[in-house]
Amino acid sequence: MKEKILIVEDEAQIAKVLKIELEFEDYEVDVEYDGKAGLETATSAQYDLILLDVMLPSLSGIEVLRRLRKAEVFTPVILLTARNTTLDKVMGLDQGANDYVTKPFEIEELLARVRSCIRYRSLVEASGTKEAEAELLTISDLTINLETREVLRNNESITLTPKEYDLVVYLLTNKNKIVTREGILTNVWGYEYEGETNVIDVYIRHLRKKVDEGFSTSLIHTVRGVGYMMKEEKHEDHDED
């Protein structure tokens, strides 16, 4: 079965080119040209990915994204934006975007990110199926419900940003295995990231504060010079950054 992609883009020429390129890659593609129509379509049908322009008439892409996540529609979203400031990128990621592409972009780069987003979602869903019928990922007293996106540690709810959630899910789907920094960037950020790699350190530090602090065991561990591993271990043996 073909993967379905929704494009929400008000520039008709860009939407046309994207539709042609994606259909050539054997995706099934729908197009909407304003925020309100895009929101209605995204909530009334199931898609494997949404390409969402930020600057849209009727509703901005950020507002569409916010309403989708509020309605518990967790379809992966790649933002298309002409803006290139850190604030815009952070705002989009914090509202639940999985990735962003700054215009003008090379179509091959966008296609690579599309493939990565869809592949990552498939891996997560497959891991959930293997773990349990309720789509749970577990290690020690940490549980993640992939269907509801609820994260619990010792039955205490943990609030994570969308990117923190993606990162902890990736670590947990590879529990007791070393994951490299390059692997994290490719699979969590969804593409071959070429920016500052210390973004991983920032997110790992945030995750440790939320997932490990105050609990008797540490779950997130640094493997010096290689990457990270999620496994159960006493705090006294914990190797911090």
How far is Cα 19 from Cα 107, in angstroms, rounded to an integer?
11
Q: Determine whether domain 132-237 maps to CATH 1.10.10.10.
A: yes
How far is Cα 51 from Cα 27, in angstroms, rounded to an integer?
13
pLDDT digits (tens, 9 = 90+) for 158-200: 998 888 998 999 999 999 999 998 888 878 876 555 555 578 8
Average pLDDT of 27-36?
97
**CA-based angle 76:50:135, to the nearest 5?**
30
The correct CATH number of 4-117 out of 3.30.720.120, 3.40.50.2000, 3.40.50.2300, 3.90.226.10 is 3.40.50.2300
Burial 50-79 (b: 16+ CB within 10 A, else e): bbbbbbbeebebbbbbbbbbeeebbbbbbb
First CA to last CA distance, the chain? 44
**Cis status of the peptide bond prior to 57, with omega within 30 of 0:** no
pLDDT digits (tens, 9 = 90+) for 82-128: 766 666 667 777 778 888 888 888 899 899 889 888 876 666 665 55
Q: Tell me, what's the pLDDT at 100?
A: 84
Most trustworthy range by pLDDT among 34-38, 128-132, 236-240: 34-38
230 phi and psi, to 5 degrees? -105, 115
- The residues spanned by each domain of the chain are 4-117, 132-237
Most trustworthy range by pLDDT among 37-46, 65-74, 78-87, 212-221: 37-46
